[in-house]
């Protein structure tokens, strides 16, 4: 796929994004396998902050940046807009999981949780952003709605 670069002049640290994706996986695992179901509300808030361009307030992103600072990892900057769109998709998934959980639809909530974990794992382990690929396809057709 021919991706346009740069998409925006706003950048984020790819290492922080990947660590954030790992923390999302941990959050989903807590939701699925412990009685601490409230973690899904936390993920909704965190995704909402990142999707609304308020990522500097995201607890997971703050944690990730702190850990990277301890590791003295060098930043690897990438375009922020596709990552912001991916966070919007994460928000949609986490809200759907929350609603399904509230409706006592555990199986469906589990399936969506597995999908969210899978795409987060692709980002964390392989630096492959599914949401970013969707963003580029939508951008090609002018459907990103200003994101």
List the beta strands (DSSP E) in 1-147.
Answer: 11-13, 77-79
Helix axes 106-126, 80-102, angle to 10 degrees: 160
Domain boundaries, the chain: 11-140
At residue 145, the pLDDT reads 60
CA 96, 50, 80, 64 dihedral sign is negative
Contact predicate 28/68, CB 8 Å: no
At residue 147, the pLDDT reads 62
pTM of the predicted structure, to 2 decimals: 0.89
Question: Please, which pLDDT band fits residue 112 given cuts at 50, 70 and 90?
Answer: very high
pLDDT tens string 61-89: 999 989 999 999 999 999 999 999 999 99
Contacts of residue 34, Cβ cutoff 8 Å, sequence gap at least 6: none
At residue 8, the pLDDT reads 62
Per the model's pLDDT, the better-predicted residue between 8 and 77 turns out to be 77
């Amino acid at each position: 796929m021919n991706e346009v670069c740069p998409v925006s002049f706003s950048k984020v640290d790819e290492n922080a994004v990947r660590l954030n994706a790992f923390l999302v996986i941990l959050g989903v695992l807590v939701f699925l396998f412990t009685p601490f179901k409230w973690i899904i509300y936390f993920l909704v808030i965190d995704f909402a902050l990142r999707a609304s361009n308020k990522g500097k307030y995201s607890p997971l992103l703050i944690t990730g940046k702190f850990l990277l600072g301890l590791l003295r990892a060098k930043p690897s900057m990438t375009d922020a807009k596709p990552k912001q769109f991916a966070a919007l998709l994460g928000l949609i998934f986490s809200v759907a999981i929350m609603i399904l959980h509230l409706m006592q639809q555990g199986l469906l909530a589990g399936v969506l949780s597995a999908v969210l974990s899978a795409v987060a794992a692709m980002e964390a382990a392989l630096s492959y952003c599914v949401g970013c690929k969707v963003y580029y396809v939508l951008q090609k057709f002018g459907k990103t709605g200003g994101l």
